[in-house]
Chains A and B, each alone.
Chain A
Amino acid sequence: MEKAKISTSQLFIVMILFQLSNSLLIPLAMRAGRDSWLAILIATAISIFLFFIYRALYLYYPSLLLTDYTEKLIGKVLGRTLAFLYILFFLYSAARVLREFGVMLLSFAFPETPLFVASALMILVVIYTIYKGIEVVARTGELLFVVMLMLAFFLFLLIAISGLIDISNLRPTLEDSPKILKTVFTETLYVPFGEIIVFTMIFPYLNQAKKLKKTAVAAISITGVALAFTTILNISVLGVPLIERSLFPLLTTIQSIEVGEFLERLDVIFILALIIGGFFKVAVYTYCALIGTASLFNIKEPSKLAYPLGITVLFTSMVIASNYSQHIEEGLNAFPIYVQLPFQIILPVFLLFIAFIKNRKK
């Protein structure tokens, strides 16, 4: 762990940007069709419970990282193995986000640029940021958050003015309620909400531990509402069939804007949101892998790990899938159930259970 502190407002911003990131851009919870926004809201509510599990673990060891207290809880060999697996999980998640970022950028803005170049440029920036440490990541967040807020406001204003919103696209609601719950538990709960598991690596840096609960709950709820709102906007502008065919619904919504015959072709808003979001999620994931590795292997200067880990993420992102359809297929059907469910929910609950028993003995 490096010697650094972040404030509650910084944590709040980092959490929001981290969760919004790619979730804002890809079709979220679309298996629930018209009711996807409901699925998002339900997932938000459940993820607040998840946060309380992570927080309970943090309260047992307020100065330790997730990868440190696994050793204390389940023994040296098992604990260190688990910590190592968590680091791999963070690296893989970072690689997935980087791949999504690269593909989005290429598929509509730079069709002739190789994926490797776009990803490499992004990872260079990420490497530089995490080399500087968590404080710099948090301060970058503060800066970018203002940009994101302005973009969101501008975008909503334009969509409202151009008269594209057709609320009747949202009806009928609750056409298939079991499907909503199924979507929540197979998909939406893990991306983006369950991903806050990485913050167990960041909570110890907080300067006012008492305010953690308020800050994080506010950040999670605001993210949930923002995502649900974006989904409502997309559905009411585009209609469900078109969203299901779109790789990036928000982009299609932005492209539909035509105000006064000159405010149109506003794709640049999407590119900005894409770069800010992609940068942030990759940076946070890689940073958590970095401090985890540093503490697991007792490396005195964690920042030296920035280059090797960054390049690992870059190459992993290149080899995880041969095309985007395969990438999405894995992201929807395999990754949530076989990787995210155990790492985000089952293992933390198990660790909490052990922590509870161990501390009761004392």
Chain B
Amino acid sequence: MSRKWIIPFFMAACLPFLSGCWSSIELKELAIVSAYALDKKEDGTYVGTFQLINPMNVPGALQGGASGQNPSIATYTATGDNPLEVADRASTIVSRDLYFAHTSLLVISEELAREEGLSSILDAMERGIEFRTTTKIVISRDVKAGEFVQVLTAIDQVPAEKAIKSLEFTEELYGENIATNLQKFINAAVSTGKEPLVSGFSVEGDIEKAKTMEQLQSSDGSATIKVNGMGVFKEGKLVNWIDGEKSEGTLWVLDQIRQAPVNIDWENHEDAISYKVVRQKTNVATKIKDGKPAISVHIRAEGDLRVIEVPVDITNPHVLFRIEGALQQKIQAEAKAAIEVAQKTKTDIFGFGEKLHHSEPKVWQQFEKEWQDVYFPALDVDVTVEAFIRRTGMRNNPYLFDLNKKSE
């Protein structure tokens, strides 16, 4: 071979490698998994249910959003000894490669979370190449995880997306929930001074009907997916649920409130005044008092008055100060109740231990080992609240005020 042919020869020899087809998979051989649900069978094996997107039935932009005649998802169930084996078995049923890079929701059944915990499951997800650590984790409450992902949803075509959106909305509008992803969960679980929180979901209505197209053919549907409480984890296992006002209190302390409403009683009227938080900041300070750790939580809230159901003269600043005082008491009570519950279950969901570690690294070493069981439950927590009413909406005094004058 003459010298001038060597370089063209080399270039030609590179071609088969450079085309990048080594481990290529055609799109039609992939099944995109939108949600992965894990249950546990009595014999100890895992049951995985995969919510796959059925691309033919998800209306694209060209179709103008008209939904198809068939469900936009398909679900498959398989069993195995670990999450990976479950996925491999499912592949054989689906006859396509399960593709996890777009999995946005991991659903764990309450039973599995309580009895076995998440520690043995999450390693497969974290180690895997496709699975993302930004995938959200939720617990299916009073319903099998597998059934939860089979429920069809009307407005959002993909149920996993709908679940995540409602999670984010409740977090933002009600401050009763928290969107935890894999990474946050593992970080909190391995930390000695913090325990993770995971949102719960439940299904209300007739699940069997909700799996069929009947669900989408009526305006109210047969069943709805609802966010329901927050699960508290300890050593990777679900130990307790936090619901309602207590979960709001928890989020106040966690500095996670964004727009939560706060209702207060006024002159014998229950929930007469409603206040909407616009801005919130919680500072947690730690100090050592007589060799024991003490925590002070300072909550500062700013917001507007939204609903006033009693005649109150809010043009008078003194009255507003009194309302602010009532708000402060209410928020303080919620926060304190949440802390007490956490202390009772011996789980430091607020990360007070971590804060102590940050500010007093030397002292922390002596508390670290028994923090969750001995020191946290006995912790002296002081909660102070500052609430400010910045605006009162588009009106000053409520019209009830005038109504009352009329009747007098």
Chain A residues close to B by CB (< 8 Å): 107-108, 110-113, 117, 121, 124, 168, 171-172, 175, 238-239, 241-242, 245, 252, 255-256, 258, 264-265
Chain B residues close to A by CB (< 8 Å): 10, 14, 17-18, 22-23, 101, 126, 129, 132-134, 183, 186-187, 190-191, 354-355, 357-359, 361
Query: Which of chain B's residues have a CB closer than 8 A to the CB of A264?
Result: 134
Query: Which of chain B's residues have a CB closer than 8 A to the CB of A255?
Result: 132-134
Query: Which of chain A's residues have a CB closer than 8 A to the CB of B17?
Result: 117, 121
Within the assembled complex, what's the spacing in Å between the Cα atoms of A121 and B354?
A: 47
Min distance, Cβ B103 to any Cβ of chain A, angstroms: 12
Can you give 29 contacting A-B residue pairs, CB < 8 Å?
A107-B129, A111-B23, A112-B22, A112-B23, A113-B23, A117-B17, A121-B14, A121-B17, A121-B18, A124-B10, A168-B354, A168-B358, A171-B359, A172-B357, A172-B358, A172-B361, A239-B187, A241-B187, A241-B190, A242-B183, A242-B186, A242-B187, A252-B133, A255-B134, A256-B133, A256-B134, A256-B183, A258-B134, A264-B134
Q: Is the interface of B mostly helix, strand, loop or mixed?
A: helix
Query: Which of chain B's residues have a CB closer than 8 A to the CB of A241?
Result: 187, 190-191
Determine if B186 and A110 form an interchain contact, defined as CB atoms under 8 angstroms apart.
no
Determine if B187 and A117 form an interchain contact, defined as CB atoms under 8 angstroms apart.
no
Min distance, Cβ B295 to any Cβ of chain A, angstroms: 15
Min distance, Cβ B125 to any Cβ of chain A, angstroms: 13
Question: What number of A-B contacts does a CB cutoff of 8 Å give?
Answer: 49
Within the assembled complex, what's the spacing in Å between the Cα atoms of A252 and B134?
A: 10
Q: From B360, which residue of chain A is reached at the shortest CB distance?
A: A172
Query: Which of chain A's residues have a CB closer than 8 A to the CB of B10?
Result: 124
Min distance, Cβ A100 to any Cβ of chain B, angstroms: 18
Min distance, Cβ B106 to any Cβ of chain A, angstroms: 16
Within the assembled complex, what's the spacing in Å between the Cα atoms of A46 and B126?
A: 37
Please list the 6 inter-chain residue pairs (A to B) with the smallest Cβ-Cβ separation, ordered nearest first: A112-B23, A172-B361, A171-B358, A175-B361, A241-B190, A113-B22
Within the assembled complex, what's the spacing in Å between the Cα atoms of A117 and B13?
A: 13
Query: Which of chain B's residues have a CB closer than 8 A to the CB of A245?
Result: 126
Q: From A168, which residue of chain B is reached at the shortest CB distance?
A: B358
Within the assembled complex, what's the spacing in Å between the Cα atoms of A239 and B10?
A: 47
Within the assembled complex, what's the spacing in Å between the Cα atoms of A201 and B389?
A: 70
Q: From B132, which residue of chain A is reached at the shortest CB distance?
A: A255
Query: Which of chain B's residues have a CB closer than 8 A to the CB of A238?
Result: 183, 187
Determine if B129 and A111 form an interchain contact, defined as CB atoms under 8 angstroms apart.
yes
Min distance, Cβ A176 to any Cβ of chain B, angstroms: 9
Within the assembled complex, what's the spacing in Å between the Cα atoms of A175 and B363?
A: 11
Determine if A265 and B132 form an interchain contact, defined as CB atoms under 8 angstroms apart.
yes
Determine if A110 and B23 form an interchain contact, defined as CB atoms under 8 angstroms apart.
yes
Q: From A258, which residue of chain B is reached at the shortest CB distance?
A: B134
Within the assembled complex, what's the spacing in Å between the Cα atoms of A265 and B134?
A: 10
Within the assembled complex, what's the spacing in Å between the Cα atoms of A258 and B354?
A: 26
Determine if B18 and A172 form an interchain contact, defined as CB atoms under 8 angstroms apart.
no
Query: Which of chain B's residues have a CB closer than 8 A to the CB of A117?
Result: 17, 22
Query: Which of chain A's residues have a CB closer than 8 A to the CB of B22?
Result: 110, 112-113, 117
Q: From B20, which residue of chain A is reached at the shortest CB distance?
A: A110
Min distance, Cβ B382 to any Cβ of chain A, angstroms: 20
Query: Which of chain A's residues have a CB closer than 8 A to the CB of B359?
Result: 171-172
Query: Which of chain A's residues have a CB closer than 8 A to the CB of B129?
Result: 107-108, 111
Min distance, Cβ B371 to any Cβ of chain A, angstroms: 16
Query: Which of chain B's residues have a CB closer than 8 A to the CB of A111?
Result: 23, 129
Query: Which of chain B's residues have a CB closer than 8 A to the CB of A112?
Result: 22-23
Within the assembled complex, what's the spacing in Å between the Cα atoms of A252 and B133?
A: 8
Known contacts A117-B22, A242-B186, A245-B126, then 6 further A-B pairs from the complex at CB < 8 Å, ordered by chain A residue: A112-B22, A113-B22, A113-B23, A168-B358, A242-B187, A265-B132
Q: From B127, which residue of chain A is reached at the shortest CB distance?
A: A245
